[in-house]
Amino acid sequence: MAKPDPAIEGRGIGAVLQLLQAEFADVTISKIRFLEAEGLVTPARTASGYRKFSAADVERLRYVLTAQRDQYLPLKVIKEHLGAIDRGLRPAAGGPPVAPSSLPKTPGQPAPVDFGADGIELKLTRAELRAAAGISAELLDQLESHGLVVARGNHYGGDAIVVARVAAEFAPYGIEPRHLRQFRTAADREVGLIEQVTGPRRTEQTEELAALAVRLHTALVRSRLPR
């Protein structure tokens, strides 16, 4: 979805209709109300019951109307797509939203994949994690059994993509998930040290210290490799 325009914030249904009719000539107030009733958009209500659409609400409506017009998708599928977008996945042309799959190339920098599209925290299903990381169910089982990948409730965070992909890249060298447990142990110790300084809450200072820890770890590993 496009980035919401802040100028649209707090518009009534009539104003939203005028905005959308420039792109979708057949849209009506009844159509917008129907999409709301189906749970595809949930505008705020004033004390007197009037709808107030945010910029994000308008972008959701645009997404729905575009998917219906250009892809002929049923509302059930569109609703699933919106649910995925709400979990940080990004829309893909001609298909369902996908998780980010690229890894940072700068050595010693933490991978910024905790957040997906529009800064939304990533929440991946098992299938989405496997697709984003390009790994088998067997490898994911092994990573979980050794505590290298951990679900948060029913979903996986963005860092799980990095862990899974790196584990897959270790495999051709004969390094299996069971061999990687020492990295988890070292990470736990580093987190413990950081929390002694910042406390258990994740803050900007926590992120800065984590980046320093990654840089130090990388330098120490490199310094001990044979020249």
Boundaries of every domain in the chain:
6-86, 117-223
What pLDDT digit, counting tens, does each position of 72-82 carry?
999 999 998 89
Token pair, residue 55, equals 């910029």
d(CA 187, CA 210): 10
Radius of gyration from C-alpha coordinates of the chain = 22
d(CA 19, CA 37): 20
What pLDDT digit, counting tens, does each position of 113-138 carry?
555 555 678 889 999 899 889 999 99
Neighbour tally for 210: CB within 10 Å: 17
Q: Is there a common fold for 6-86 and 117-223?
A: yes
d(CA 197, CA 165): 31
Residue with the two structure tokens 């490199």: 222
What pLDDT digit, counting tens, does each position of 106-115 carry?
444 444 455 5
Residue 114 confidence (pLDDT): 57
Residue 134 confidence (pLDDT): 92
Would you tell me which CATH number, out of the four given (1.10.1660, 1.10.3470, 1.20.1530, 2.60.40), belongs to the domain 117-223?
A: 1.10.1660
CATH of domain 6-86: 1.10.1660.10
| Residue 56 confidence (pLDDT) above 50 | yes
What pLDDT digit, counting tens, does each position of 145-165 carry?
999 999 988 899 989 999 999
198 phi, psi to nearest 5 deg: -105, -15
Q: Is the pTM of this model over 0.85?
A: no
